[in-house]
Amino acid sequence: MPDSAPITPPAPSPVQERHPDLARLVEHFYGQARQDLLLGPIFADRVEDWPHHLRALTAFWAAQLRGRGSYRGTPLAAHRAMASRLSPAHFARWLELWDAATVQVMGPDDAMALQTKACRIASVLQAAVLAP
């Protein structure tokens, strides 16, 4: 079973303070993903610094939803590094959990926008990572 210890983040980063709704969404979603039987082991093996990961992903989603944020990561490279462990089922499960989390945490318009963006991103990542 994946490590399910609570995440005790340090003081919020500026992006988390500017986008508290997205910070709550990211924390909620990854709390669920870490417990998931399919996704949890992937995250347990890859993420060493959860507070940093949550800050980075809050910045990523702020940039995606609101066109502003300080995200500077390389999601394609990160996912390609896990290619041997990923399958279409992982992407489908990620989207299933993401959609549920957005509905639970965000308002309807933002939830729909985040779901649409996540679906596009997942399609691009899946095609690039799982391509023969």
Cα atoms in the Cβ-side hemisphere of radius 13 Å centred on 54: 28
SS3 at position 132: coil
- Quote the pLDDT of residue 7: 58
Tens digit of pLDDT for each residue in 85-105?
Answer: 999 999 999 999 999 999 999
Calculate the CA 84 to chain-centre distance: 19
Mean pLDDT score across all residues of the chain: 87
Burial (Cβ within 10 Å: 0-12, 13-18, ≥19) of residue 14: exposed
Q: How confident is the model at residue 66 (pLDDT cuts 50, 70, 90)?
A: confident
- Asked whether the CA dihedral 116, 42, 58, 67 is positive or negative, the reply is negative
Asked whether the beta carbons of 43 and 4 are under 8 A apart, the reply is no
| Residue 12 DSSP one-character state | P
- Quote the pLDDT of residue 16: 67
* End-to-end C-alpha distance for the chain, whole angstroms: 31
- Quote the pLDDT of residue 67: 80
